[in-house]
Amino acid sequence: MPDPAFPTIREIAAALEAWAPPGSAQSYDNVGLQVGDAGQRVRHALVALDLTPAVLEEARSTGATLIITHHPLLFHPLRRLTPDDLAGGLALRLAEAGIALYSLHTNLDAAPGGVSFALAERLGLTDVRFLDPLPETLCKLVTFVPSSHFDAVRAALAEAGAGRIGDYDACAFALEGTGFFRPGAEADPFIGRAGALESVREMRLEVEVARWDLERVIRAMKTAHPYEEVAYDVYPVQQPATRAGLGALGRLPEPEPLTAFLRRVAERLEAGSLRYAGNPAARIETVAVCGGAGSHLTRTALRAGADAFVTADVSYHRFFDVLDPDGHPRMALIDAGHYETEAVTETLLCEWLGRRFPGVTWQRTRTRTSPMHTFTP
């Protein structure tokens, strides 16, 4: 019999998705439950950056029934499910072993305290904030509530996730006014009677909502609102999000030479080598980071005044972006490796999940999942 003391995958996913909403993932991404039954209860789980055959065998040998990865196994649509390729074969083996797979990728990249924040912490940065807050993610929800039910509706909106601005929640604005309406013959009005023009003192209630929370917030509003037909408006808000973004920006406790900073990056990320452009005489204090392939944020890091930007998968031509008209580096651009800048995710997830589900054994994989190696002649 399943032990109700242990959470289901659905409950674990709900907690993760409150932190890293799937709607904040990039449009090309595929996040969430990839293989398995959401109703399955979990006693032991394995956390890895990637799913590989070695990670799957480790899960089997330790009795884990859930694997959580940062990189999705099913990233591109599968045309067939056979053992003839890596993704299809691993999906089949997961199903045969009764092991579920859940992935959170660019939604964890965009979450407060997510991948880039963990990378910044590993490098010893302080005063960390988003490097590039996500644009066009916010809406303003406006509804009209009779005074008798104002507190109940406002509380329901806050509970559903509306009104979160930076480190504040339950943020709202209200203005008193008069509402007019005439119930139709088939209506069942909360106030007034069919066919008669009515007026009522109402509160105009405004809250800010992330677009990925909007559907849930509207459901909560309608449930708490006393009116049969709830009047509301949704407006786009043209300002960057405060609770979602890419990359992170912080400061070193003390400025240090570029050579010392390169040594810091290599040692703390256990990187066998670094590719970089930079002035050896530069002093590094303000640092931008982005776990994984973040070189598209190079100019954003420059505009933010970073002395160095640590990321991965930097192309040859991207290094030219940090050069001034005379060919001198305006900022150090450092490619520390995709795996090396994101391996911190494994510890991040184990610690985060361990605090919320202490009854589950959360184990970080012992497997280095990167297929890449460094050769130094």
In 110-253, alpha helices (H): 115-122, 150-159, 214-224
Residue 375 lies in a domain: no
Which CATH number belongs to the domain containing residue 142 in this structure?
A: 3.30.70.120
Asked if 88 and 207 sit in the same domain, the reply is no
Collapsed DSSP state (helix, strand, coil) of residue 129:
strand
Neighbouring C-beta atoms of residue 370, cutoff 10 Å: 15
Asked if 101 and 15 sit in the same domain, the reply is yes
| pLDDT at res. 3 | 56
The DSSP code for 161 is T
Q: Which of 237, 263, 285 is the last residue of a domain?
A: 237
How many domains in the chain?
A: 3
Q: What is the pLDDT of residues 341-357, one digit of tens each?
A: 999 999 999 999 999 99
Asked if 189 and 252 sit in the same domain, the reply is no
Give the pLDDT band of residue 320 (cuts 50, 70, 90).
very high
Residue 370 lies in a domain: no
Average pLDDT value for residue range 91-114: 97
- For the chain, the average pLDDT equals 95
Q: Which of 237, 267, 297 is the last residue of a domain?
A: 237
Residue 4 lies in a domain: no
Which CATH number belongs to the domain containing residue 96 in this structure?
A: 3.40.1390.30
Per the rule left: phi > 0, alpha: psi between -120 and 50, beta: everything else, 322 is alpha
Residue 323: pLDDT above 80?
yes
Q: Which of 207, 237, 267 is the last residue of a domain?
A: 237
Asked if 101 and 14 sit in the same domain, the reply is yes
Residue 187 lies in a domain: yes
Residue 257: pLDDT above 80?
yes
pLDDT over 70 percentage in the chain: 99
| pLDDT at res. 354 | 97
Residue 92: pLDDT above 80?
yes
| pLDDT at res. 344 | 98
Domain that residue 265 falls in: 115-133+244-336
Q: How far apart are CA 371 and CA 369, in angstroms?
A: 6
